[in-house]
């Protein structure tokens, strides 16, 4: 499975020549409300299986959670279900706040 560090994702998102990936945040709504990366789509881990048809298996998808553990499991699940372009955000939003967006609230 592909992994990205927050700085690598930031470079990607800042590059107008690259197609923007789906930022799939798999945390709970209260976590997403506390902080999230702009443009991310919230789909809690517990709802992934029942909402699989909403997702495009060909779209590059960066899976995001708090520290990168839940997102890793969701990314593996997606890969096992035919998704070919799945990337885990290593370190999650916690690392994003520490390495990229120092104004982002943490928890």
Residues assigned a catalytic role: 65
DSSP secondary structure letter of residue 45: G
Q: What is the 3-state secondary structure (H, E, C) of 11-28?
A: HHHHCCCCCCCEEEECCC
Answer yes or no: are the C-beta atoms of 75 and 88 closer than 8 Å. Answer: yes
Contact, 38 vs 15, CB < 8 A? no
What φ, ψ does residue 89 adopt, rounded to 5°?
A: -80, 105
**Whole-number Å distance between alpha carbons of 1 and 33:** 28
């Amino acid at each position: 499975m592909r992994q990205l560090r927050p700085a690598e994702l930031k470079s990607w998102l800042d590059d107008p020549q690259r197609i923007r990936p789906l930022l799939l945040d798999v945390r709970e709504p209260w976590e997403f409300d506390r902080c999230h990366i702009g443009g991310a789509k919230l789909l809690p881990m517990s709802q992934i299986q029942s909402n699989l048809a909403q997702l495009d298996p060909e779209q590059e998808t960066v899976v995001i959670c708090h520290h990168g553990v839940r997102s890793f499991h969701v990314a593996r699940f997606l890969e096992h279900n035919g998704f070919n372009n799945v990337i885990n955000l290593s370190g999650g939003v916690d690392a994003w706040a520490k390495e990229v967006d120092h104004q982002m609230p943490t928890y």
